């Protein structure tokens, strides 16, 4: 009695080969819409399966929501940049309109308080900028002495500008015209330089997180460069 032939081993298609073939034949499902409706794929968020068409709808909805979120982020960034530009513009115009160094200091205080929520400002100027003035400078301007210069230099730690915490003791020394915080505050410091050291600009807040160390100092440096040049201009007018 002859034996029946052994069944041929079942062949399994390689998924990568199937995917590659379908990618090369995107028109395969044309005229086979019924097959599309029969295909089932895992649900992306729950157990069970859904049709391929339902899955495509979910994917498209997710992409649309993601695109909408990115667009909103771009619009929010644009609104913030426009607001920042307008506030900076008004600040610079007010500084340019100041008639002397004391008026410059007052413009700094007013503009930074109203437009940038800066609680305190101090402008420590080198004696070379104040010796030519007929009257002692008025707060927030102060004549830079050796002790204050050394402390400000230590706070900057070799940098042009930085944001950091400011102890109550340093606040009392460097911003003597403003009531100090109960413990520590924060500040943004920058050197004033136009060819030679001219002093320091301090922006401070009772809030220790207002000028946290991770903040960028580009605006503070820019403001310091403008203020330094205006101080030199006013000194030459005396």
Q: Are residues 120 and 162 in the same domain?
A: yes
How far is Cα of residue 6 from the mean position of the Cα atoms in its chain?
Answer: 73
pLDDT value at 197 more than 90 = yes
Residue 29 lies inside a defined structural domain of this protein? no
In this predicted structure, what is the pLDDT of residue 44?
66
pLDDT band at 179 (very low <50, low <70, confident <90, very high): very high
Q: Are residues 154 and 230 in the same domain?
A: yes
Instruction: Please write the tens of the pLDDT for every residue from 212-234.
Output: 999 999 999 999 999 999 999 99
How far is Cα of residue 150 from the mean position of the Cα atoms in its chain?
Answer: 30
Q: Are residues 93 and 160 in the same domain?
A: no
Residue 233 lies inside a defined structural domain of this protein? yes
In this predicted structure, what is the pLDDT of residue 10?
59
Give the count of beta carbons closer than 10 Å to the beta carbon of residue 205: 18
Instruction: Please write the tens of the pLDDT for every residue from 115-127.
Output: 999 999 999 999 9
pLDDT value at 79 more than 60 = yes
Strand extents, DSSP E, 43-88: 49-51
In this predicted structure, what is the pLDDT of residue 88?
94
Domain count, the chain: 2
Contacts of residues 142-148 at CB distance under 8 Å and 24 or more positions apart, as own/partner, are 142/176, 144/199, 144/200, 147/173, 148/124, 148/173, 148/174
Q: Are residues 92 and 169 in the same domain?
A: no
pLDDT band at 35 (very low <50, low <70, confident <90, very high): confident
Q: Are residues 143 and 183 in the same domain?
A: yes
Q: Are residues 66 and 112 in the same domain?
A: no
Give every CB contact of residue 120 below 8 A, 6+ residues apart in sequence.
Answer: 140, 175, 178, 202, 203, 204, 205
Distance of alpha carbon 218 from alpha carbon 220, whole angstroms: 6
Q: Are residues 191 and 221 in the same domain?
A: yes
Q: Are residues 106 and 52 in the same domain?
A: no
pLDDT band at 98 (very low <50, low <70, confident <90, very high): very high
pLDDT value at 2 more than 60 = no
């Amino acid at each position: 009695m002859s034996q029946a032939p052994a069944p041929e081993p079942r062949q399994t298609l390689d998924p990568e080969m199937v995917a590659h073939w379908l990618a090369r034949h995107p028109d395969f499902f044309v005229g086979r819409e019924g097959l599309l409706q029969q295909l089932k794929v895992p649900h992306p968020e729950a157990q069970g399966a859904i049709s391929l068409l339902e899955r495509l709808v979910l994917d498209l909805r997710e992409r649309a929501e993601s695109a909408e979120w990115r667009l909103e982020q771009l619009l929010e960034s644009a609104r913030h940049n426009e607001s920042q530009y307008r506030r900076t513009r008004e600040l610079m115009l007010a500084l340019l309109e100041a008639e002397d160094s004391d008026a410059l200091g007052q413009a700094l205080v007013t503009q930074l308080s109203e437009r940038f929520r800066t609680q305190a400002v101090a402008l420590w100027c080198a004696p070379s900028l104040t010796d030519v003035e007929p009257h002692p400078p008025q707060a927030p301007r102060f004549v830079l002495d050796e002790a204050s210069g050394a402390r400000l230099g230590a706070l900057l730690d070799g940098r042009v500008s930085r944001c950091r915490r400011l102890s109550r003791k340093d606040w009392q020394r460097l911003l003597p015209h403003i009531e100090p915080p109960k413990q520590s505050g924060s500040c943004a410091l920058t050197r004033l330089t136009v060819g030679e050291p001219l002093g320091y600009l301090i922006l401070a807040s009772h809030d220790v997180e207002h000028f946290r160390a991770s903040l960028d100092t580009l605006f503070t440096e820019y403001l310091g460069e403008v203020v330094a040049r205006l101080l030199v201009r006013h000194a030459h007018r005396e």
